[in-house]
A and B are shown apart, each in its own frame.
Chain A
C-alpha cells in the first residue's frame, strides 16, 4: 500500500484504475478534465487495459456509458456542472435501464453567471434521476468511494448507476495524502463484474428502448428502480463494513463528529464539511457542545440514520451549499425526514453558504452556532440566511459600476 499526494481528480482516476473499468466514454469540462487526461495517459502507456472513446457531448457520453454497461462491461465516466445537465436526459434513461456504471461528478456552480468554482446545484439537479449519489469530503474518500460505488451499482439488489461527487477546486485540484490500496486487496473486495443477464451477443439480442403505455407497467418499472435504490441503504452499510475489514477505513452512511453529547449539530455535504469539523474543534475548546453530521450517501437519503443522530438535539444548523426555493435542499429534505416522528424535534436553522465556491470562514461557523442557539432560545427559526457580508456587496457594487448597471431604470407605467 502506497501513501502518496494526489489531487481529488488523481484519486478519482486511481479509483477507476483499481476498479479495472473496461470502458471510458469521455467529454472534457473544467474542473473534471484532469481525470480523463490521467486515465488517457495510462492507457497510452499500456499501464491499464481500457477502451476510451471521446464523444461529441455529455449526452452521447452517457448514452455510450449506459449502452456499454447494458452489455455487461464495467463502465466509468466523469463530468461536471453544465455537462451533467446536458447529459441529464440520459441519466434518467440509463437508470431506467438498470445499467450499473459509475459516474464521477466534479461539482461546479451552474450558469448564469458562469463560474468554475463549486457548489452543489449541479449534482442536486440529478437527485431524482434514479442514480445513487455518494458525496466525498477528502481525496481519500474519492478513491474509496469509487470502489464502494461499483460494489453498490453491481449488487443484484441494486443494479443502478452511481454518481460519486467531489467538489471542484477544494478537492479536484487539491492534493492530500492518499493511501492507494494494493490491487490484489481491491480485487478481493471488488471482484470482476458478474453481469448476470446483462450481455450482448448475436444469439441473444436485447432491447432497451422499451415503450409502455397505460401507466401500469410504467409505474411498475419506475417503482422497481425506486425500491432498488432504497435497498442501497442496507447494501451500503454491508459493503462499508467489508471495506473496513479489507482496508481499515470506515464508511458509514453518515460521517459523525462529536455528535453524542452535542446539543447543537451542523449538517453539511461534501468537502466544506471538513471546515466545519475544524470549527467544531475550536467550539469544543471553548466549551460548546457542538457536533457535525455529514451524509455520505445522499441518494437514497439516509432518513432513519439521520433521525437517530438528530434525536434529542436542541438545534440543527443545516448549511446548504445550494439554493432552492423555500430553503436549501438539505434543509427541506431533513425537515421532511423529521416530520413523521411524533417525538420532540430539534429546531432546524438554515444557512446558505459556499455558493460558487464562496469560502465559509471559521468565524462564520462560530456565528452559525451562535445564531442556532439564539433560535433555540427564542423557540423559532429565522428565515434561511445567506452567508453574505457587507464587504461582498461592496465588491458587487464595484463590478456593477464597471458593467454600467447603475443607469436610470426604464420608466414603468403604473
Chain B
C-alpha cells in the first residue's frame, strides 16, 4: 500500500456514536496508539448531559508537530460511525464537513454502495461489519472501531494498537482487556486492504476560507429573547424511548398496585390504570431502570430491547 503522508500533516478523526458504546474509549485507544507510534496527540469526547443512548462524538488529532487546533473538527479526514442510525439524525452532525475525500467508516450491515447511493457527500465509504456481540457487550464496539480506524490511518502497527489497549485498560479485568484486544485486532485485520486509505490533512485541502456570515444581532424584547419555554409538553416531542437499551416490564401478577414506581419515575411516564396497574409509556421511557430498583415487590424486570429490524445478527 502506498503511503502519502506528509510528515507534518495533521490527522483529524471524528467518532460518532451513542452513550454506552464507548465512543470516548475508542477515541482514547486510537489517541494512545498514535502517541505510542510517536505522534503528538489530542483526544477528547464531546457530550452534553451524560447518559446512555444519547448521541456523543469524540475526536482525535495526531501530528508529528505540536497541535494548536482545538475543539470541533470541521474538516475531518476520517469519520467513524459506531451507530449507523445516527447518519440520518441531522443534530448528530455525522456528515458535517464530509467531502468526497473524507473516509467514512460505518459499523453497518449495509454495503458501501448502499451508503454512497443514500447520501450524496459519501464517496470513500468503508464498512466495518458488526461483530457478533450481545447487547450487553455494546461497549466492545469501541475497540472494534478504534482497531479499524488505526488500520485505515496506515501509521499504526498491530503492536501499537495492542499496547494502546493495554494502556487504556490498566487495572481492568484480564478477560475484559482480552475481549477488547480481540475485537480491535479483528477489526484491524478486516481493514488490511484499505490500510493507509486515510490521508492526514486531506479534509483540510482545497477549502477556500469563506468569510464568516457574521450578523449584528438586533435587540429583541425579553418577551422573545429571555430563555423561557412557553410551550407546554415540549418534552413529549422528544422520543426519549430511543435511548433505551433495557426495557422495564411490569409483572402484573407480582405487582401490589402501590404506585411507587409511578412516583419515582424521573420522566413521569408511568401512569396507573383504573385497576391501579402501572402502564409505561415506552415512547418516552428512557430506560433508566429507577422503577426496577424502587419497586418494593420486585415486580418490574429489565429485558434487553429487541434488536431493530434488519439489524439481526
Contact = CB atoms under 8 A, between A and B. Distances in A.
Interface string B222-253: 01100111110010010000000000000000
A404 B70 contact: no
A404 B227 CA distance: 11
A405 B228 contact: yes
A172 to B, nearest CB: 9
A350 B103 CA distance: 39
A222 interface: no
Interface string A269-292: 001101101100100000000000
Interface stretch (B14-22, B44-52, B104-112, B190-198): B44-52
A375 interface: no
Contacts of A409: 221, 223-224
A404 B229 contact: yes
B298 interface: no
Query: How large, as a class, is the contact surface on chain A?
Result: 35 or more
B43 A386 contact: no
A357 B47 CA distance: 12
Nearest to B164: A5
Nearest to B67: A176
A348 B223 CA distance: 35
A387 B213 CA distance: 9
Given A116-B48, A278-B68, A363-B211, A403 B43 contact: no
Nearest to A391: B213
A387 to B, nearest CB: 7
A177 B213 CA distance: 36
Query: How large, as a class, is the contact surface on chain B?
Result: 35 or more
A402 B71 CA distance: 28
A390 interface: yes
B74 A407 contact: no
Contacts of B32: 5
Interface string B11-52: 000000000000000001001100100001111111011000
Contacts of A174: 42-44, 70
A337 to B, nearest CB: 27
Interface of B is mostly: loop
Contacts of B229: 403-404
Contacts of A359: 71-72
Interface string B52-82: 0000000000000001111110100000000
A234 to B, nearest CB: 30
B209 A390 contact: no
B1 interface: no
Contacts of A177: 35, 40-41
B231 A403 contact: yes
A156 interface: no
Given A169-B46, A404-B230, A5 B35 contact: yes
Interface string B174-218: 000000000000000000000000000000000001111111010
A367 B215 CA distance: 13
A299 to B, nearest CB: 24
A216 interface: no
A361 B97 CA distance: 13
A389 B217 contact: no
A57 interface: no
A5 B39 CA distance: 11
Contacts of A277: 68
Contact of B223 (A176, A278, A388, A410): A410
A6 to B, nearest CB: 11
A362 interface: yes
A389 B210 CA distance: 13
Given A175-B31, A367-B214, A275 B231 contact: no
B207 to A, nearest CB: 9
| CB-CB nearest 5 A-B residue pairs | A404-B231, A404-B230, A174-B44, A278-B68, A113-B227
19 contacts: A5-B32, A169-B46, A170-B71, A173-B44, A174-B43, A175-B43, A176-B67, A177-B41, A275-B68, A275-B69, A359-B72, A361-B212, A363-B211, A388-B217, A390-B213, A402-B231, A403-B230, A405-B228, A409-B224
Given A403-B229, A404-B229, 12 more contacts: A5-B35, A175-B42, A357-B71, A359-B71, A361-B212, A364-B212, A385-B214, A388-B217, A389-B213, A393-B217, A403-B234, A404-B231
